Amino acid sequence: MTRPLLPTGDVPDAAPKPAVHEQAVGLVPTRTELLRRFFRSRRDPAPFVDGLARRATADLPFDVTGRRTLDLGSGDGALARALTALGAEVLALDIDLRSLADDPFPQVRADGTCLPFADSAFSRVVCSNVLEHTPHPERVLDEIARVLEPGGRAWVSWTNWYSPWGGHAIAPLHYLGPERGLRAWTRLFGPPKGPNLPYRNLWPTHVGRMMRHAANLPDVRLIDVKPRYYPSQRWIVRVPGLREVAMWNCVLILERNG
């Protein structure tokens, strides 16, 4: 039987954070400041990436202190460092770990669609802006569900394709389609800069598709779905066409039954 697509019941509020939270992770940027950094990120991505990690840890709806936490798709390690500052026992995983060589937390090089861990290995999983970078995002969700311990929770976020930034290096020409948009960008501006090009390291990933898969994962409850940058506007999730464009970046909160 197919379970309800949208979460039912009360949506839990974010768990209280320790009083030292901001001191531990540094100043958490406001969403307005984060937006300013985003618009400068093509020239200088570091301040946006760092601020995004701090904002994410401030918004987590569960505590990570003392919890064995997997940062799936750790990138340059900004989120793993912020989680470590909160007291999480972090393991960073990425398909390319060259940028994490000097960080003190454990690191594993692996593919998120086939995690090298036993079932129920982690109490928490965070996965930021990864699903759009694999042609098999459902497998990533499957693996997250598998490695969560009973009662464990996951925070999963990605940039949906039809959002204004869905095409990454070729945005906004991705609205022409992945291949046509890439050809148009190259013709108008030359080869796009950066690695995130359609069908190379970027695949169209949609909110409705990921919600349906998450809602029907065995032994997992879909607790919440919300826009990452304006979480109070959850009503957008209930409008199928609008959510694909207006959410910009989608967040799923999952809990392993137990």
Q: What is the CATH number of the domain that holds 220?
A: 3.40.50.150
> Is 5 within the bounds of a domain?
no
Same domain assignment for residues 186 and 208: no
Q: Greater confidence, 163 or 105?
A: 163
pLDDT tens for 35-64 read 665 656 566 566 666 667 777 888 899 999
Same domain assignment for residues 123 and 81: yes
CB 92 within 8 A of CB 106: yes
What is the total count of domains within the chain?
A: 2
Q: How far is Cα of residue 168 from the mean position of the Cα atoms in its chain?
A: 15
Same domain assignment for residues 158 and 219: yes
Same domain assignment for residues 85 and 183: no
Token digits of residue 159: 């940039």
pLDDT tens for 10-31 read 444 344 343 333 334 457 666 6
Same domain assignment for residues 61 and 182: no
Residue 101 gets which letter from DSSP?
A: T
pLDDT of 14 reads 40
Range of the domain at 178: 170-198
Geometric angle at alpha carbon 249, from 134 and 69, rounded to 5° = 65
Of the candidates 219, 251, 245, 230, the one whose C-alpha atom is nearest the C-alpha of residue 152 is: 219
Q: How far is Cα of residue 23 from the mean position of the Cα atoms in its chain?
A: 24
In this predicted structure, the answer to whether residue 108 has a pLDDT above a threshold of 50 is: yes
Same domain assignment for residues 32 and 121: yes
> Is 146 within the bounds of a domain?
yes
Mean pLDDT score, 156-185: 95
In this predicted structure, the answer to whether residue 5 has a pLDDT above a threshold of 90 is: no
> Is 16 within the bounds of a domain?
no
Of the candidates 210, 248, 234, the one whose C-alpha atom is nearest the C-alpha of residue 5 is: 210
> Which uninterrupted H or E stretch holds 141?
helix 137-147
pLDDT confidence of 239, banded at 50, 70, 90?
A: very high
Task: Encode 173-222 in three state secondary structure.
Answer: HHHHCHHHHHHHHHHHHCCCCCCCCECCCECCCCHHHHHHHHHCCCCEEE
Same domain assignment for residues 77 and 148: yes
> Is 56 within the bounds of a domain?
yes
Phi, psi of 70 (to 5 degrees): -95, 120
Token digits of residue 236: 């957008």
